[in-house]
A and B are shown apart, each in its own frame.
Chain A
Amino acid sequence: MRRALLIASPYLWLLALFLVPFAIVLKISLSDIALARPPYMPQWHPGDGLVALGEFLGSLDFENFVFLTQDDLYWKAYLSSLRIALISTALTLLVGYPIAYGMARAAPEWRPTLLMLVILPFWTSFLIRVYSWMGILSTEGVLNQFLTGLGLISEPLQVLNTNTAVYIGIVYTYLPFMILPIYSALEKLDDALLEAAEDLGCNRTEAFWLVTFPLSRTGIVAGCFLVFIPSLGEFVIPSLLGGSDTLMIGKILWEEFFSNRDWPVASAVAVILLLILIVPIVLFQRSEEKAREAAK
């Protein structure tokens, strides 16, 4: 009896507040926009009876999804989100790997402090971390003042409100997610393997590419998924750092809902984003399971 209650409480909570809401999104994505409150139709209430339910189900259609394929804006936004997320993931790996490597090679008594320094930004507000770049990248910002002061540039660079600023923002805010899994893979690396490689005639660079890098692969894969998946649906970074031409699907969904008040189209945008995300999420879970089994 207690066991049933123990299982049921979190289970029912998640069913009601996680799964049912998705069913509603799916339903509304198949409805039509209407000038009413709530602004979509058709609607069906449990009291209306089964005949009404039949009519209701019959009037749902894929019109919104057809609309998404016809209007350039949407598929361009999906492609652009994918491109931005891929490029940022690659950049985060490029920046994060040397840091993780340096941490794993540091003296053992330093490692906990270094680890805390990587985690600390994660506890500070995401919004503030994104905002901190606005003052740096704006035309009269710290970066431009610094570069003009050095005499490197005469005209201020336009970085804020471009895709470059979005890349910087994503790399900056998601960097800990890349560093931590790579660090935990590198930390387990046995130094004897590197010594063996060198005894067998590898120089340091070869030993790195033949031994260290392949053995840190699980960390790299986990880090890349942890950056790629959330950055695909990112809203705060493109809307604060990006320009009017920065197309990201999270921003489109927000505007469709709050500015255009087109709930059915916003729901259809969400359904397709979810379908795109299922592929990397399943791949990620599979690679995590493989890593777990390999560790056993």
Chain B
Amino acid sequence: MRRFSWFNATSLTLGFAFLYLPMIILVVYSFNDSRLVTVWAGFSTKWYGELVRNEEFLDAAWVTVRVAFFSSCLATVLGTMAAYVLVRAGRFRGRTLFSGMIYAPLVMPEVITGLSLLLLFIGIGLDRGVFTVVLAHTTFAMCYVSVVVSSRLTTFDTALEEAALDLGASQFDSFRLVTLPIIAPAVISGWLLAFTLSLDDLVIASFTTGPGATTLPIKVFSAVRLGVSPEINALSTIMIGIVTVGVIIASLISKRAAVAQARDEQAAPRTT
């Protein structure tokens, strides 16, 4: 606090203005009456109406949500397993390759991941569509999930699992009854991350999709290539709104959980 000067105040104000102004401008212009997005012609919600009537966008949104749901669920299961293997399984043959394959997709350019998966799908003669996009998204999202979950597992007190095993629980029961409830917040944030990454992905989906499986980002990209459009502004506003509400709810829940935990910890010594 001592060193919080006018300099810090200015850099924070300018920094957050830079981060948020473009999105605020986007939201404001989505309520513009004019098709010319740069001329303000009064308040209107007509672009939202146009958006709701646009079947192509609705279809693409439905495809995107389905892909995101299936790929994030699969990625959460596989990613949690991978994290458990990385942190708990000890040494096994090919461990270095395994951890390499977990971390590499995080930094791999999307164009390379997309191209290589497409060539695989063609090579084995798999018809491209929703299914192939789900496979592709699961592959990169599981790596993000495993990073999130493994960072929780490394700070986990193994004595709790050992106690369960001593008390006669099987390995699987000790995972189900002890480990899973404790790492659950990390697993849930991993799932959310996987879901968001899938909703957001343009490049990998473009490579691995097929006829009838156009996702929303692909649709948006082909629309904005031609220039700024008020319907896309309206769509962006809806998406920004969903994310903002979601993040606020998530942070309230985690704050409440933290408060409850602090209360439990305080209460514990008194009861003993």
Residues of A within 8 A of B (CB): 2-3, 6-7, 9-11, 13-15, 17-22, 24-25, 28, 38, 95, 98-99, 101-103, 105-108, 114, 116-121, 123-129, 131-136, 138, 140-142, 145, 172, 175, 191, 194, 204, 229-230, 232-236, 239-240, 250, 253-254, 257, 263, 266-267, 270, 273-274, 277, 281, 284-285
Contact = CB atoms under 8 A, between A and B. Distances in A.
16 contacts: A6-B84, A9-B78, A13-B139, A98-B15, A99-B12, A102-B8, A116-B247, A131-B220, A134-B224, A135-B25, A194-B3, A233-B112, A234-B109, A270-B111, A273-B112, A281-B107
B55 to A, nearest CB: 21
B227 interface: yes
Contact of B203 (A114, A134, A236, A284): A236
Nearest to B26: A132
Given A126-B202, A132-B23, 17 more contacts: A2-B171, A6-B81, A7-B92, A13-B78, A17-B120, A18-B105, A24-B119, A95-B18, A105-B4, A106-B8, A118-B19, A132-B22, A135-B233, A230-B107, A233-B110, A266-B115, A281-B104
A159 to B, nearest CB: 13
Contact of B240 (A25, A128, A140): A128
A125 B239 contact: yes
A133 B227 CA distance: 11
B85 A6 contact: yes
A108 B2 CA distance: 12
A9 B200 contact: no
Nearest to B97: A19
B155 interface: no
B199 interface: yes
A10 B142 contact: yes
A135 B112 CA distance: 30
A239 B81 CA distance: 37
B88 to A, nearest CB: 9
Q: Give the top 8 A-B pairs by smallest Cβ distance, nearest first.
A: A233-B109, A21-B116, A98-B11, A99-B15, A10-B82, A102-B8, A132-B22, A102-B12
B111 A123 contact: no
Contacts of A230: 107, 109
B11 A127 contact: no
Contacts, number: 224
Nearest to B201: A126
Given A14-B102, A120-B247, A132-B23, A138 B38 contact: yes
Contacts of A25: 112, 115-116, 119
B23 A121 contact: yes
A18 B139 contact: yes
A30 to B, nearest CB: 13
Contacts of B26: 128, 131-132, 135
Contacts of B3: 105, 194, 204
Nearest to B23: A132
B94 interface: yes
Contacts of A2: 171-172
Nearest to A175: B19
Contact of B117 (A21, A233, A239): A21
Nearest to B139: A17
A102 B22 contact: no
B236 A6 contact: no
Contacts of A38: 122-123
